[in-house]
Structure 1
């Protein structure tokens, strides 16, 4: 495969922001791997994009399952030998509007499994491919709900904690990586999707634009930052 063609992988790529990210990356000339836990929905999404002559392929990956992530990494390594851009987009919002200490603990556990540990295991499995070539861009789709200041307000506790932990992971990995590998977190805003609902103020395309600039930053670009619409925001 040509050295000039970069490979991008998007988790939770079959709908919402994820689907839009896959589409926009492919339109920019990336070879894109759409990762989804549901093979049927994943293949359907890829088919739709291929009809527009976009270079998109599918890999099954359930971010709640370490073995599934490990197998996906092996598949991608065998098929492409590299990953240049990794977007951790897969996430859940399972909120019961109860106090954190009063909610069913399984809600918190399931939220952390997907939103935090999912991203952690995906990074852990794919970063060796980036280290092998000394280049990579990792983008964690976070939320303003994960900001430290938001912890002072009650409500959506499981989701908030999961994004707070994801932000912490972003900073720690940024401090540990070498070479031209960068990791950043992004708040895409309130987006019209299955998660955001129909009354949200932003389209998936607007959200994708606010994320994608981080995919193409040069070696002087930010590392370990938290952004909204291209501007750095407080942790």
Structure 2
């Protein structure tokens, strides 16, 4: 039951307390969305909410650990009780698993942990939020992927890749995420839910030791565009700033 009436669109961004997720929340807020800042760490989450509020964004905190069934279920219940629907879900939370990630020497536990967050976490959150998305007039799901998940870009002539160093946990997790996204697209055919993947590019964040060449604000742009698509917009696509990424 809805306890708080609102005419604003409601968005939830996972991993939104910093970096790209924070800038996605800020960008959606600038367009009038009421934005849930999903994050595990309470101190960082509330600091992000305070900063967004100070910048004029209507933000609220959502305690959310994408790897935990109970946490995700409670987050869905919280949004349902407070708003009764969800207009936008941006699955941004992710980990790299650290480096090196040579396939011949990687600890399988690293692959398991990365997939748990980057893939299963997306499924867990999406499934919990789908009933709320179905109650929205123009719902959107955006999964933050990476060009390293493109099999086309991974398999250049002679075996070389254009997607960066070997990363047997992280890169395949994004390929897996892309495939999962297409499964949702197939299941949701005939609904008004648009589901797409966004690549932020090589953004300077703590995930890469701030070695990236793009700002978090630049990295957030494609996800914000996909989250605010008009009815009849694309679904089942993989996008970066320059356009479509080949699967």
Does TM, scored on the shorter chain, surpass 0.5? yes
Structure 1 stretches lacking a partner, 5+ long? none
Matched, 1:49 2:52: yes
Structure 2 stretches lacking a partner, 5+ long? none
Aligned Cα root-mean-square deviation (Å): 1.5
Match of 2:202 in 1: 190
* Structure 1 residue 96: Cα displacement: 3.1
Q: Structure 2 vs 1, CA of residues 12 and 223 (structure 1 numbering), >3 Å: closer, same or farther?
A: same
Which residue among 201, 205, 214 is the counterpart of 2:226? 214
Does the 8 A contact of 2:111 with 2:169 survive in 1?
A: yes
CA distance in structure 2 between the partners assigned to 1:124 and 1:208 by the alignment: 23
CA distance in structure 2 between the partners assigned to 1:92 and 1:143 by the alignment: 12
Match of 1:233 in 2: 245
2:12 match: secondary structure: strand
1:222 match: secondary structure: coil
Match of 2:89 in 1: 86
Deviations 1:178-232 (A, max 9, x none): 4210100011100011113333110111111122111111222110110011511
Match of 1:39 in 2: 42
Matched, 1:118 2:121: yes
Does the 8 A contact of 2:86 with 2:135 survive in 1?
A: no
Deviations 1:115-152 (A, max 9, x none): 00001101111011112345310000000111113166
CA distance in structure 1 between the partners assigned to 2:101 and 2:192 by the alignment: 43
CA distance in structure 1 between the partners assigned to 2:93 and 2:72 by the alignment: 12
1:33 match: secondary structure: strand
Does the 8 A contact of 1:134 with 1:181 survive in 2?
A: no
2:234 match: secondary structure: coil
Alignment TM-score, normalising by the size of structure 2: 0.90
Alignment length (residue pairs): 234
1:135 match: secondary structure: coil
CA distance in structure 2 between the partners assigned to 1:113 and 1:17 by the alignment: 20
Match of 2:215 in 1: 203
Match of 1:61 in 2: 64
